[in-house]
Structure 1
């Protein structure tokens, strides 16, 4: 019998949940996570905002409807209310994490993020080229293992090819070496130009 969860997976999941919930504080105070004074931040949450807020609205409507249906069973009502409200908080937390944890271009690295789930630091001297390339996730199988896709709203808009592998660690702790990273940025043109200029510097 095999197990998908490695030792420490529960700890990693709890840490992820903590980062998601902590993002509310950053969101409310209009701050961003670990963006230095000389760094440039590039958001990516816009592509999923309508979907996230629409889903949250549906969950609120469902919560009200279910509460009305089970009002005669106080215990059931209380349990379902807590679960439904936490679902809404979690959905909004995922958006808060995406807003407050943007991609970051530092003087020596490109930090690619996907909410509180992915945080990949790619040294600039490991980047061979960057290109704008709009791709949509289809129903086909997974791509090569050395390719990492950080899609937002089922799309990526930039592709970075590397001269050598960098290590990606998944949410549950699995490690793999990647040489191509596809990701989304709301202002993909600005990021591509800024990254190209950074790569051109001695």
Structure 2
């Protein structure tokens, strides 16, 4: 149900450009608007755990109107503009959403409950789909780290202590980066003899992939595992970021077998190496995964460059 609006956009974009739709432009665009609004509302109801408020409903209608206006061909858009009362009504819905969302965004930016980055993400999410905003923020973070962050301290918030895990990853990461560079050069050289368009497409895809790989490798150093006031923040660059509350930890393990690490209930955050720390949990902790959806785990494994200080501080923290 969450992908229904995207399916409707793709199908509607093709349907509204058919000869039958071109012959009846006004009927086609109104039908597209009705189907798009229904898909947006159904997705909203499916996502919400409680009854959506008026602002959410208006936002769904505004999103449907904007999508239809963006996808409609000129003939259909002109047919809609020829009915001023309909055009004014649709514009009023969009304006109401923008004004209402702007007021909420202003209150979020004026608050101090979250850091500045999270406040901006929350504020923009009032105007645009939150999933799209989160995805764009993540993409910009990767690009910024790959191109502009080369030195400086790691991302350790105030009141937390960071523990590095990147030193054992450096040789393998550099090797992977060199192999990727060679592969990109060979692809460009070979493909350039057959297709200019293919060369351009490969250039864009390979260079974007290279930038992402550089950003991921650098994120291993800038995003260490943290001991925070609320729990352990297990991180593996941009790939994993999970907060494990202290009260959920039952036991700290340093000797464990492969069966326990390979268990589906174990979150293995050790990359390209065998873990040297295992946290057994008293109760399952949920995690949302893009590929596997929402699942829970009862143990967390990771590898630190120097695990002894981490284990000592964690045992003292759990004892007190």
Q: Same fold (TM over 0.5)?
A: yes
- Mapped to 2, the partners of 1:26 and 1:128 lie a distance apart of 41
1:120-199 → structure 2 map (5 Å cutoff): 120-133=242-255, 143-172=262-291, 174-199=293-318
Q: How far apart are 1:95 and its partner, in Å?
A: 0.9
CA contact (8 A) 2:260 2:266 kept: no
Distance 1:18 1:152, change over 3 A: same
Larger fraction in strand: 1
CA deviation map 1:52-92 (0-9, x unaligned): 21111112122223333344443332222222222221211
Match of 2:204 in 1: 82
Say whether residues 1:119 and 2:223 are aligned partners.
no
- Secondary structure of the corresponding residue to residue 177 of structure 1: strand
Q: Which residue of 2 aligns with 1:106?
A: 228
The alpha-carbon deviation at position 112 of structure 1 amounts to 0.5
Q: Distance in 1 between matches of 2:148 and 2:244?
A: 24
Higher relative contact order by CA 8 Å / sep ≥ 6: 1 or 2? 1
| Paired residues of 1:134 and 1:156 also in contact (CA < 8 A) | no
| Counterpart for residue 57 of structure 1 | 178
**CA deviation map 1:142-183 (0-9, x unaligned):** 844432211211421100112222222223472222221111
Which runs of no fewer than 5 residues in structure 2 stay unpaired?
A: 4-46, 48-128
TM-score (norm 2): 0.52
Tell me the TM-score normalized by structure 1: 0.78
Secondary structure (helix, strand or coil) at the match of 1:44 reads coil
- In 2 relative to 1, CA 146–77 (structure 1 residues): closer, same or farther, beyond 3 Å? closer
Are 1:47 and 2:47 matched, yes or no?
no
Q: Secondary structure at the match of 2:284?
A: strand
2:91 is matched with which residue? none
* Alignment CA distance shift 1:84-1:42 (3 Å): same
Coordinate RMSD, CA, aligned: 3.1
Structure holding more helix per residue: 2
Gap change, CA 1:27 and 1:43, over 3 Å in 2: farther
> Residues 67, 158 of structure 1: CA spacing in aligned structure 2 closer, same or farther, 3 A cutoff?
same
The structure 2 residue matched to 1:66, chosen from 174, 187, 194, is 187
